[in-house]
Amino acid sequence: MAHPRSRLAPDATIELAHGSGGKAMRTLIEEVFVSAFDNPDLAALEDQALLGMVELAAQGDRLAFTTDTYVVDPLFFPGGDIGTLAVAGTVNDLAVGGARPLYLSCSVVLEEGLSVQTLRRVVESMRRTALAAGVRIVTGDTKVVERGSADKLFINTAGIGVVPRGVSISQANARPGDVIIVNGRLGDHGTAVLIARNQLALQSDVESDCQPLNGLVAAMLAVCPGIHCLRDATRGGVATVLNEFAQASHIGIRIRESAVPLREEVKGACEILGLDPLYLANEGKLVAVVPPWAAAGVLAAMRSHPAGEHAAIIGEVSEEPAGTVIMDSVFGGQRVVDMLVGEQLPRIC
Amino acid sequence: MKYMDEFRDPSKARSLAREIRALVGRIPRARQRPLQIMEVCGGHTHSIFRYGIQQLLPDEVEFIHGPGCPVCVLPMGRVDDCVALARRPEVIFTTFGDAMRVPGSKMSLLKAKADGADVRMVYSPLDALQIARAHPDREVIFFGLGFETTMPSTAMTVLEARRAGIGNFTLFCNHITIIPTIKAILDSPDMHLDGFLGPGHVSMVIGTRPYGFIAQHYHKPITVAGFEPLDVLQSVWMVLRQIAEGRCEVENQYGRIVPEQGNAQALGAIREVFELREFFEWRGLGSIDHSGVRLRAAYAEFDAERRFPVPNLKIADPRACQCGEVLKGVIKPRDCKVFGTACTPQMPLGSLMVSSEGACAAYYNYGRIHGASA
C-alpha cells in the first residue's frame, strides 16, 4: 500500500496520543481506517452513519442487529487473522438469521506499543473481507490503553442487515423429521489456532475456515425460504449449536459420526490431544435444519457454492429424547453429545 | 488415521459381539448374576463411552469402571495443596489441562487462576522446564500426576533439570502406582469382580509380569488391552474365554505396543528418581499403602514438597458420596444416594462426577439415552 503525504512513519507504533482525540488520532483514523474502508459514510467523519430507511425497507420487513467482540491469540494464524474474523463473524451472525448483511461498525482497542504496520495488516484483512461479503464499514471508534491493559488489539464490530419478508429462522423451529446439514469440514479454525499457538510441537497445513457465509445462506434461502434453523458453529462447535437447537425446539437430534466431514489432519490432532472435533471452533461453518422435502435441494445448492463444497447431511431431528443430541458412533454404539461444562481441556492419558 | 480406522470396523465389531454372546452362553454363573469386568484405566472408560461399547455386549456382561482416571482419584486435600502453591507470588504453577477443573475443598486451579494465581497449562513436563528456563527469576512448579504412563516423562524431566543445572524448577509429585491399587480393590470384602482389562499404556512401561498375582493369588483372569474399540471388544472376549475355560492367566491383547518385560529405559528413570511413599490418599478409596511415589532424597532440590510449605491437610470426601463402592463395582452409579441430584457434572460432589472419564459422569449422560426411550 502506498501512503502519499503520510504523516505516520512506516515503523510507527501506537502511542496513547493516538487515542487522545487530537491530531494524532485524526491522522491514525484517516490514514489507516478511512483510507482502507473507503466509503463516503465513513469519510464524512461524523459521529454517526446515516442509513436511508427507504432503501432498507425495500429489501425486507425487519432489521437484524448484532454485535460481537474479537480477541484472539495469536492475531495472525494460517487462513486468517483477527480482522478477517471481526468482519466474517459479525456478517455470519446476521446471515444465519436470514438477513442480508449491509453495514458494519468497527471499534478497536489498541495496546500502547502495537506497531502501526500490524494494525494496517489487520485493517487490510477487514477491508478485503468486507468487500467479499458486500458490506460497508460505516462508523467506528478508536481507543488506546496503556501497555499491559489489553493484549495488542481487540476489535468490536456491530452489524445491521435486512431480513426479507417471509423468512423466519429460529433455533426454536426444528421439527421431527427435519434434516441436519453442515456446510463442510469441521474444526479447522480451532485446530489452526491451537497449532499456531505453537505449544504443541505439531505441524500441519490446516488453515482456519474463516469466511463470510452470507452468499451461501442467500443461495440456500433461494431454494428453500422456509429453512427452520440456521446457526454458525463458532465457539463450542457444532455440538453446542445442536444442543441449543434441541433445547430450544424441544426435540431430539440424532447424528451419525460416519457422516461428519473432517479433515484427516484435524482427526489426527484430536486423537493426539484427546479433543472432540464436534466441540472445536469454526469460523466459516454453519448448521442448518431444513424440512425433509427440501433437504436434497438445499444440499445441492450448498455444494455448488464455494463455501459449501463439502456440505453434508449429518443427521435428523426426532421427537425423543427431547433436548438431547445423540450420536451413532462409527462403531455401532451410541453416545450423548452434551454441552461442555467449561472449556475443552486436553486429557492426560 | 487409516491405520486407526481398521480398529474401528463396525462389521468386525458385530462378529466379535456375536462371539461374545456365544461365549457367555457357555458360562453357567452368568445366568445368576452379570459377569463384572473391571477396566482399570480411564482411557478404556473413555473408549467404552465414546463408542458405545457397552451396548454391543449382552446384558450378562457389565463393565465396572475402575480407579484409573488420575484426575478422578485426586483427593481434595492435594488440590488444596496445589492452590496454596500456585498462589505464592514467586510461583508459576504448571499443570496438564484436565487437572485444572478438579474441585478442591474451596476452589479449583481454574478458579485460583481467575483470582490471580499464575497457573499455566502445559502439554508435557518438558514445557514446564522450558518455562523455568525462560523465567529464571520465578519458581516453576510442575504438577506431576498420573500412573506409570506419565511417570517416565516426569522422571526424565527431573533428570534433565539436574543435567542442565536448572535451579528454579520443582515437581509437586502426585504420581500413583497401579498395582497396590488393584490389590486394594481385590482385598475388599464386598468385591465381586470376575476379571480385568489391564491398562495398556501403563503396561507399555511396566510390562505384563507385575499382574501375575491377580491370576495366581486372586484367581482372576486379566487381559492387557488396547484402546481402540475393537481392542476393547477383543479383550473382553479373551477374558470371557478364560472364564469359560476355567483359566486364570495374564494375557496380552495389546502385544503391538506392550512388551512382556516393559520398557527398561523408562523403568530405569523411574527407579532413579522416585521411591514409594508409605501410603497415598485416594479420592473414594481412602489411604492405600505404597500406592504413591515421591522424589528420592538425592533429588530433594527438585521436590516442591521439600522446598515450599505445603498445607498437606487431609480433607474427607463428602459423606454422602459412595464413590468407593462404585469404584469397586459394589453399586452402580445410579444407586448412589446423591447421583444426579446433589451430584451432577455441573456441580460434582464426588470424584467420579468430575472428569468425563469418571463412571458417574459417563452414566449420567448414558442414562439419558435410555431413560428417554424406556
For residue A329, give the nearest of B50, B127, B149 by CB distance. B50
Question: Per-residue pLDDT averaged across A53-71, rounded?
Answer: 95
Each residue of A96-148: pLDDT tens digit? 999 999 999 999 999 999 999 999 999 999 999 999 999 999 999 999 999 99
For B148, the closest chain A residue by CA position comes to A349
| CA distance, residue B145 to nearest chain A CA (Å) | 9
Q: Which residues on A lie below 8 Å from B8 (Cβ)?
A: 330-331
Q: What is the pLDDT of residue B344?
A: 86
Q: Do A13 and A116 meet the contact criterion of CB atoms below 8 Å apart? A: yes
The alpha-carbon gap from A336 to the nearest alpha carbon of chain B, in Å, equals 6
Please tell me the distance from the alpha carbon of residue B333 to that of residue B346, in angstroms, as a whole number: 16
- Residues A307 and A284 sit within 8 Å (Cβ to Cβ): yes
Q: Please check whether residue B122 touches A, CB under 8 A.
A: yes
Average model confidence (pLDDT) across chain B: 89
| Interface membership of B130 toward A (CB under 8 Å) | no
Is residue B358 within 8 A of residue B351, CB to CB? The reply is yes
Q: How many CB atoms lie within 10 A of CB B355?
A: 28
Q: Which of A332, A335, A342 lies at the smallest CB-CB distance from B10?
A: A332
Please judge whether A335 and B51 are an interchain contact, meaning their C-beta atoms are less than 8 angstroms apart: yes
pLDDT at B373: 32
**How many angstroms separate the CA of residue A200 from the nearest CA in chain B?**
7
Segment A2-57, tens digit of pLDDT = 445 557 888 899 999 898 888 889 999 999 999 999 888 888 888 899 999 999 99
Which residues from A are below 8 Å from B70, CB to CB?
348-349
Percent above pLDDT 70 for chain B: 96
User: What is the interface size between A and B, counted as CB pairs within 8 Å?
Assistant: 104
Q: What pTM was computed for the model?
A: 0.82
Q: What's the whole-number average pLDDT of chain A? A: 92
Chain B residues closer than 8 Å to A341 by CB: 101, 345-346
> Tens of pLDDT along B50-60?
888 988 899 99
Question: What does the pLDDT read at residue B374?
Answer: 27
Q: Do A322 and B372 touch (CB under 8 A)?
A: yes
Contact status of A291 with chain B (Cβ, < 8 Å): no
Q: Tell me the C-alpha distance between B274 and B313, whole Å.
A: 23
Confidence class for position A343, pLDDT limits 50, 70, 90: low
HEC secondary structure over chain B: CHHHHHHHCHHHHHHHHHHHHHHHHCCHHHHCCCEEEEEEEHHHHHHHHHHCHHHHCCCCEEEEEEEECCCCCCCHHHHHHHHHHHCCCCEEEEECHHHCCCCCCCCCHHHHHHCCCCEEECCCHHHHHHHHHHCCCCEEEEEEEECCCCHHHHHHHHHHHHHHCCCCEEEEEEEECHHHHHHHHHHCCCCCCCEEEECHHHHHHHCCHHHHHHHHCCCCCEEECCCCHHHHHHHHHHHHHHHHCCCCCEEECCCCCCCCCCCHHHHHHHHHHEEECCEEEECCCEEEECCEEEECHHHHHHEHHHHCCCCCCCCCCCCCCCHHHHHCCCCCHHHCCCECCCECCCCCCCHHHCCCCCHHHHHHHHHHHHHHHC
Residue A89: count of CB within 10 angstroms of its CB: 24
Question: Which residues of chain B make contact with A334, given a CB cutoff of 8 A?
Answer: 52, 55, 369
The answer to whether residue B150 neighbours chain A at the CB level (below 8 Å) is yes
Predicted ipTM?
Answer: 0.72
Contact between chains at A199 and B122 (C-beta distance less than 8 A): yes
Question: What is the nearest CA distance from B246 to chain A, expressed in angstroms?
Answer: 30
Better-scored residue on pLDDT, B13 or A109: A109
| Closest residue to A349, CB basis, from B127, B201, B371 | B201
Nearest to B372 among A320, A342, A349 (CB): A320
pLDDT tens digits for B269-325? 999 999 999 999 988 888 999 999 999 999 999 999 999 999 988 888 788 888 888
Give the pLDDT of residue B198.
95
Looking at the predicted structure, is the pLDDT value of residue A216 above 70?
A: yes
Predicted local distance difference test score (pLDDT) of residue B372: 34
Query: Of B356, B363, B366, which to mutate for an interface test with A (greatest number of A Cβ within 10 Å)?
Result: B356
Residue in B294, B318, B293 with CA at minimum distance from that of residue B305: B294
Q: Which of B59, B68, B126 is nearest to B359 (CA)?
A: B68
**Residues B69-80 pLDDT 10s:** 788 888 889 999
Would the CB atoms of A346 and B96 count as touching at under 8 Å? yes
List the 346-365 stretch of B: residues with Cβ below 8 A of A. Answer: 346, 357, 365
Please return the burial class of A141, using the count of CB atoms within 10 Å of its CB with bins 0-12, 13-18 and 19+. Answer: middle
**Distance separating alpha carbons of residues A14 and A118, to the nearest angstrom:** 10
Q: A333, B366: Cβ pair inside 8 Å?
A: no
- The answer to whether residue B1 scores a pLDDT higher than 60 is no
Of B51, B145, B149, the CB nearest to A333: B51
DSSP helix/strand/coil, A337: coil
State residue A340's pLDDT score. 78
Q: What is the pLDDT of residue B210?
A: 95
pLDDT tens string B319-366: 888 888 888 778 888 889 999 888 888 778 877 887 766 788 878 876
Nearest chain A Cα to B232, which residue? Answer: A331
Helix (H) or strand (E) holding A72: none
SS3 A158: strand
